[in-house]
Amino acid sequence: MSTRCSLSYDDNHHLYQECFENDNVYLRLDSGDWDASIETASVDWRDGEFSRPRLSVRMNVTLWRKIVEGWLATDWAQHPELDHQKMQFDPDGFSKWLESLPLRKKASEEKND
């Protein structure tokens, strides 16, 4: 008998908790568009018949909440119509953004003031 309580599920992922555990959440990714790497190694899934990769991650629920809250606070999360949209660079908009940043005076300029 499984003790997993599904939080979110489809063909490519399963987010769940163990029913009697409130410390961690588990995320399983099945095939799809993702890559996995570890700081000291990378994984190549194209070997032989094992072409359907699976990754399972256990993480502290506090970390998961920070990840979700961080994502939800972004402009991207509020506008799903931007998903998979090509990024467009606006040089004028970038210049205006740069000009709007508060600049610190160099130490030599501060001495002269």
What is the value of pTM for the model shown? 0.59
Q: Between 45 and 103, whose confidence is greater?
A: 103
User: Residue 45 pLDDT > 70, yes or no?
Assistant: no
User: Residue 101 pLDDT > 80, yes or no?
Assistant: yes
What are the boundaries of each domain within the chain? Answer: 4-83
Return the H-helix or E-strand segment holding 13. strand 13-18
Q: According to the model, what pLDDT value does residue 105 have?
A: 61
Residue with tokens 């490519």: 12
55 DSSP β-pair partners: 29
Q: What is the mean pLDDT of the chain?
A: 81
Q: In the numeric block, which tokens belong to residue 6?
A: 């599904």
66 DSSP β-pair partners: none
- Strand pairing report for 54-60 and 41-42: unpaired
Q: According to the model, what pLDDT value does residue 103 have?
A: 76
Q: Between 54 and 69, whose confidence is greater?
A: 69
Is residue 4 within 8 A of residue 17, CB to CB? The reply is: yes
